[in-house]
Structure 1
């Protein structure tokens, strides 16, 4: 009985071990889906308006906007809300133009990463860009005040208490890890091609 269970366990482990390439390619598919979806949303006003606190507070991106932080706080809109005055401010701020460009970049990174299944050199570029993108996103944990629960009297505020925006950002650690796996897999494939 013990030998039978052990052989079943070994068979299960052997099967699990054989799924590595499938898992790596599923990471590519996941990055494609996430990046194309999120990138596509950047063409909708509510999404463009939603990223303003991140961009305005970032020393690496704030120059894309006309107005500097914290002026945007007066022009925040809830998802789905419309206010003509605030909308005009966002147009003037380049909120929508920047978001459209970012959307194209994000979708391109997703597609390049996915194409690594067929062309490792392309996947290598995509994975490298995905790593840079996720590191940029994770930098918002340092630069954006809105990622931490504010002190509004409850006694529960600041680090390590993440707001909805902060919880959204921290999830990029998983995408970063996946992109590193993809980078390594693509690099192995490219090295094999170079040795032929």
Structure 2
């Protein structure tokens, strides 16, 4: 996998997600997310939520256009990097707001709405890869892109061992043709534990493979971790209410579509793994 191929994968994931999120926020979807985010910065005292939703949608849509044009105009890459950094950091800082915590379970880092917020951490490494590729080695890019993958798989994976999370994913798992079978084998908590163990396992294996420069192990781990983020995309079609005719994506839909970013993160890690051992993907010639 070359830099151009990886860059195209990253651009596609950003373009699709930014476009869908942009139109969703512009049309007023998930107003609570806008309120909670901008309450943290006290902006809702000056600007009402509908206007903030529209402005947020516009920023996402502008970012989608920049993803396209920055590929041909290097001068726009700094602009893209700056805007994506803002898109990522503004919600990430709100993790320090009590509205993101579940106080009855100990508070931070036991998070409620913060599950969707930590996903914004995936954006910064992708923007750096697209806009400042030559400023870092490919190994440094791989390590940087591993961090958000590990954050989400460890954090959300670990939450699967809590009863409230096990119950919270029932509506997603039982409607999925790919995952509903878990409830035929396990209890609700058992199925959630299995999912959580899977997430934690592949995050650990992936980190080990990158650190130890084990490309074949890394490739297996990328496939395993990637399956998590590809699977969540199917929830857009199987989960009730993920799409809305009025707002394009519901709050659940917005939560799910962000997982596209991690596919981009994993693409960068895959490029690094292939650079270490190209024989994984290059057929061996058999001598006569």
What TM-score comes out, normalization by structure 1 length?
Answer: 0.67
2:205 to 112, 115, 119: 112
- Verify: 1:95 aligned to 2:191, yes or no: no
In the TM superposition, residue 51 of structure 1 has moved relative to its aligned partner by 0.9
CA shift in 2, pair 1:49/1:192, >3 Å: same
Structure number, greater radius of gyration: 1
- Mark the CA change 1:64 to 1:17 in structure 2 (over 3 Å): closer, same or farther: same
Who is 1:41 aligned against?
Answer: 159
* Mean CA deviation greater in 135-144 or 20-29: 20-29
Show the 5 A alignment for 1:18-57.
18-21=135-138, 22-57=140-175
Residue 45 to residue 127, structure 1, CA distance change in 2 (3 Å)? same
**Deviation per CA, 1:27-65, whole angstroms, max 9, x where unpaired?**
112211211111100001111111111111101111222
Q: Give RMSD over aligned pairs.
A: 2.6
Matches of 2:241 and 2:169, distance apart in 1: 11
Alpha carbons 1:31, 1:113 under 8 Å: kept: no
User: 1:170 pairs with 248, 257, 261, which one?
Assistant: 257
For the pair 1:144 / 2:239, whether they are aligned, the reply is yes
Unaligned runs of 5+ in 1: 1-14, 67-92, 149-156
Deviations 1:120-160 (CA, angstroms, capped at 9, x unpaired): 22211111112222111111101111323xxxxxxxx4375
- Bigger drift between 110-119 and 33-42 goes to 110-119
SS, match of residue 169 in structure 1: helix
Q: 1:19 to 1:192 in 2, by over 3 A?
A: farther
Question: Where does the alignment leave 5 or more consecutive residues of structure 2 unmatched?
Answer: 1-131, 283-288
TM-score, normalised relative to structure 2: 0.47
